[in-house]
Chains A and B, each alone.
Chain A
Amino acid sequence: MPHLTHLQRLEAESIQIFREAVSESERPVMLYSVGKDSSVMLHLAAKAFYPSKPPFPLLHVDTTWKFQAMYEMRDRMAAQVGMDLLVYQNPDCVEQGINPFDHGSAVHTDMWKTEGLKQALDQYGFDTAFGGARRDEEKSRAKERVFSVRSAQHRWDPKRQRPELWSLYNARRSPGESIRVFPLSNWTELDIWQYINLEQIEIVPLYYAAPRPVVERDGTLIMVDDERMRLDPGETPELRSVRFRTLGCYPLTGAIESEAADLHGIIQEMLLTTSSERQGRVIDHDSSGSMEKKKQEGYF
């Protein structure tokens, strides 16, 4: 008997989750953030429904502050897989010009991402949204369900979460409720990289080290991605060989110094280094247990 490797098992499970969610929902959508997990998720979606196209659109909840390279990749990938791409920008944020410099990371993230996501889901009436979150990312996520129920206000209530047994997912919703589905729940960061390597999945070049203009702030390297970056007096960007372990809004995403310019280099570096993935994200450091709070408020 052929023996299945861990990556084959993870892939088969994710595909099963995709098919189950689509079969039991009326208006599914996939949240596409352009990061490496989104790339893997998109690849798995293509596999799940082949030879059909995935029967749902992609939704990018945009903040207008992503890296330029992410926008390029986003538009190209949507065209390549032939799926509809919906881009949503919270109109309140557009009007008020919400940005990380004047409003701080907390307000910026809450308004563009958390509120933007809720508005987008309401506007299009999606009842099921695929997200790329993994259980290994953060302690409070270890208990997240694969099918996670959200109230009409998009809140996550630990008491309303349903037990999940075998591969029998309960996708039933009451009016107004929606379901977040996480096909990558059981993948770890290492699995993701191994799979990207094995399947030759394209990822944003920002993951690879290259000389980039950065400034150092509170020990974090911030890339000067466009002219909107506000420099402190006396601060001048310098060219350093850096890469990103995680991608978000460029003024809120720390780079690490690295020479790893290809996939093998990244994996080698990752396996030999010692800081966890989410540390590069400024938003998690607000307070202890902050991810849990964000989840209750509706952040992915």
Chain B
Amino acid sequence: MSHVANELLETDVEAYLKEHENKSMLRFITCGSVDDGKSTLIGRLLYDSHLVFEDHLAALEADSKKVGTQGGDLDFALLVDGLAAEREQGITIDVAYRFFSTEQRKFIVADTPGHEQYTRNMVTGASTADLAVILIDARKGVLTQTRRHSFLVSLLGIKHVVLAINKLDLVDYSQEVFDSIESDYREFAANLSFTDIVAIPMSALRGDNITSPSEATPWYTGPTLVGHLETVEIEDEIQHQPFRLPVQWVNRPDLDFRGFSGQIVGGTVRPGDRVRVVPAGRESTVARIVTFDRDLDEAVAGQSVTLTLADEIDVSRGDVLVAAESPCAVADQFEAHIVWMDEAEMLPGRPYLMKIGTRTIGATVAQPKYKVNVNTLEHTAAKTLELNEIGVCNINVDRPVPFDAYDDNREMGAFILVDRFSNATVAAGMLHFALRRADNVHWQAIEVDKLAHAALKGQKPCVVWFTGLSGSGKSTIANILERKLHQLGRHTYLLDGDNVRHGLNKDLGFTDADRVENIRRVAEVAGLMVDAGLIVLVSFISPFKAERRLARDRVEAHEFLEVYVETPLEVAEQRDVKGLYAKARRGELANFTGIDSPYEAPENPEIRVDTTTLDAEAAADAILEHLRNEGIIGQ
């Protein structure tokens, strides 16, 4: 790397290295669109920091001639454009991380595209950044996208902003233009939570005020971009927060050592400090701070360490060690900002996995209270969130979670949502506060319980859940089965579209979100009926694995039997008892399963019925036989 021929480097490499070992680190994000010259700026930072190798430079010269946009001059944007596909498109998709280094600091730059549909990328890049460089084209001033970028940066908790008023060469380095853009921006940003905004006039292309003050802007006396980035104080606020250490790994090399490994995400810790294990609530004292190098007298936020405690108390991965005198909150219902990141929309009520700190738990998200228009910052009503939409929602989790508000501690209040089946990361979220509702609803103590109900009826209650395409024969088989059970003196109830959709669920349509809610309610009713001691037959298309899983989880493991009524689409369509397929094909019926809405077949149903080889009567007998073998209805 052709660093500045540093005198110290040439004469005393040891002293040089000592100096560089004490550098600090700053992570920042650059926001702007292709047209604002963002890639050019980053290319320029790398180039001016002398971090571009000669072979890269040769490639750059060749590329600049071939595909450059600067008429044969060096096109710095080409230094940073990555994947082949996007090089051809001329836009950056996804987040790229760049590195450069000066005498004072190492920098990690999250380079994210500013294009509207890429909110996801920007939020990702901002999540690890301490500072944002927001680019503005001096010819255009504060645009919608400037507001959008600023809102997202603020939402992710970044406090330091550099307003890079770029392309000033194209407005004759006018101070008036610069001043007016700066004042527009400050007025707008007053509503956001930035603690410091530094506006810098520059031309990334010409190199004005990037590393050295430009002669073209004699009226500007502030820092250069690099000068500011090198010296800006990112107060280690996090070190002044109360101590927090999410336990990643229990370290047990032998029976004599039991340590708790993790990265400190808040405050400091010393041997002798009182700590509490949350959510369990037990307390102990820190005995040692163990590291490979030596035991430490003190460790601070950012360090990865292993703690041992004075008492033998139960601590596992997912627990958080916190300062006993200022513990974090524990709750199972929250309000949060959610940024939706998946192609498939959010389904309120669907069980997702939530990863927060080192803990992974089940979570369901309620219908959004509102979503935020990132361009106008207006709040609008919403039933769901789609890719790149941001909303405020209540979240329920299936186990108590230790957390701090995201505004106080990013690592303690941030979470991701993961789809249980695709395993994709579908959303990012920021917890704000716990809802008190959970504390106020207490379960009624039920004295006459499920066992008592069932004993009276001499049967084992359960749910027999029929799933399959419309017209597969679910309801026909379920009806026959119920008749047979009734004849055997069993107490049953059949839930199907006819008796549920017309009453309990008449407010629901057929969108994915409504289908999820439909099944959630049916699962809940089926669960209550099992508590009442009934054998509940449920006959619903129930096209999604996730909701069938939810229904299964509502009752005990042995109380749920999934019956997959397997009928090929062609056969079901041919039968078309209710004429619905014909309607759907004509386009008169939207969201019809199998036609324009997916059916996710069960992988391991307890019972599989192939209606092309088995008639309804025989199918019902086969299920009856299974119930007998499972001991649900005596021999």
Contacts and interface: CB of A to CB of B under 8 A. Distances in A.
Interface of A: 1-13, 15-16, 19-20, 22-23, 46-53, 135-136, 139-140, 142-143, 158, 161-168, 170, 172-174, 177, 185-186, 188-191, 194, 197-198, 264-265, 267-268, 270-276, 279, 288-289, 292
Given A1-B236, A272-B5, A52 B17 contact: no
Interface stretch (B8-16, B458-466, B607-615): B8-16
Contacts of B175: none
A135 B27 CA distance: 15
Nearest to B11: A268
28 contacts: A1-B236, A4-B24, A4-B25, A4-B303, A5-B22, A8-B302, A12-B302, A12-B304, A16-B262, A20-B358, A49-B249, A135-B97, A139-B82, A140-B83, A142-B97, A143-B94, A165-B128, A165-B428, A166-B410, A167-B411, A170-B423, A174-B423, A177-B423, A188-B99, A271-B1, A274-B1, A276-B53, A276-B55
Given A20-B248, A198-B21, A264-B13, A272 B2 contact: yes
Interface string B567-586: 00000000000000000000
A237 B111 CA distance: 47
Contact of A142 (B82, B121, B249, B425): B82
A6 B9 contact: no
Contacts of B293: 47
B95 A143 contact: yes
Interface string B170-203: 0000000000000000000000000000000000
A271 B53 contact: no
B436 interface: no
Closest 9 CB pairs of A and B: A276-B53, A274-B54, A15-B304, A6-B25, A47-B292, A142-B96, A165-B127, A52-B253, A50-B292
Contacts of A12: 263, 302-304
Contacts of A272: 2-3, 5, 9-10
A68 to B, nearest CB: 29
A113 to B, nearest CB: 22
Contacts of A7: 21
With a 10 A CB-CB cut-off, give which of B1, B10, B101, B262 has the most chain A CB atoms.
B1
B370 to A, nearest CB: 22
B419 to A, nearest CB: 9
Interface string B405-432: 0000011001110100011110010000
B446 interface: no
Interface string B247-282: 011011100010101110000100000000000000
B53 A6 contact: no
B291 interface: yes
Contacts of A168: 355-356, 414-416
A9 B302 contact: yes
Contacts of B261: 19, 48-49
A52 B358 contact: no
Contacts of A3: 24, 236
B56 A163 contact: no
A45 B257 CA distance: 19
Given A165-B124, A292-B83, A172 B418 contact: yes
Contacts of A140: 82-84
Contacts of B16: 268
B23 to A, nearest CB: 5
Contact of A166 (B21, B83, B128, B303): B128
A264 B18 CA distance: 11
A190 B105 CA distance: 13
Interface string B134-165: 00000000000000000000000000000000
Interface of B: 1-3, 5-6, 9-10, 13-14, 16-17, 20-25, 53-56, 80-84, 94-99, 101, 105-106, 108, 111, 120-121, 123-124, 127-128, 236, 239-240, 248-249, 251-253, 257, 259, 261-263, 268, 290-293, 298, 300, 302-304, 306, 317, 341, 353, 355-356, 358, 410-411, 414-416, 418, 422-425, 428
A276 to B, nearest CB: 4
Contacts of A143: 82-83, 94-97
Contacts of B128: 165-167
Nearest to A15: B304
Contacts of A172: 353, 418, 423
Contacts of B111: 142
A16 B1 contact: no
B262 A51 contact: no
Nearest to A24: B360
Nearest to B238: A1
Contacts of A189: 1
Nearest to B303: A12
B56 A276 contact: yes
Contact of B262 (A19, A47, A50, A264): A19
Contacts of B303: 4, 8, 12
A16 B239 CA distance: 18
Given A16-B263, A51-B290, A165 B414 contact: yes
Contact of A6 (B24, B56, B263, B300): B24
A243 to B, nearest CB: 16
Given A4-B303, A47-B291, A165-B123, A268 B9 contact: yes
B291 A50 contact: yes
A285 to B, nearest CB: 10
Contact of B248 (A1, A19, A164): A19
B24 A5 contact: yes
Given A23-B249, A139-B82, A172-B423, A51 B257 contact: yes
Contacts of A158: 83, 94
B304 A170 contact: no
A146 B358 CA distance: 16
Contacts of B300: 1-2, 4
Given A166-B128, A272-B10, 19 more contacts: A2-B300, A10-B25, A12-B303, A22-B249, A47-B292, A48-B304, A51-B257, A52-B252, A143-B94, A158-B83, A163-B120, A164-B124, A168-B415, A170-B423, A172-B418, A188-B106, A264-B13, A279-B53, A288-B84
A157 to B, nearest CB: 12
Nearest to A52: B253
A21 B577 CA distance: 53
Contacts of A267: 13, 17
Given A163-B120, A172-B423, A190-B1, A4 B108 contact: no
Given A19-B249, A162-B425, A194-B17, A275 B55 contact: yes
A4 B304 contact: no
Contacts of B428: 163, 165
A191 B106 contact: yes
B425 A170 contact: yes
Contact of B25 (A9, A19, A53, A135): A9
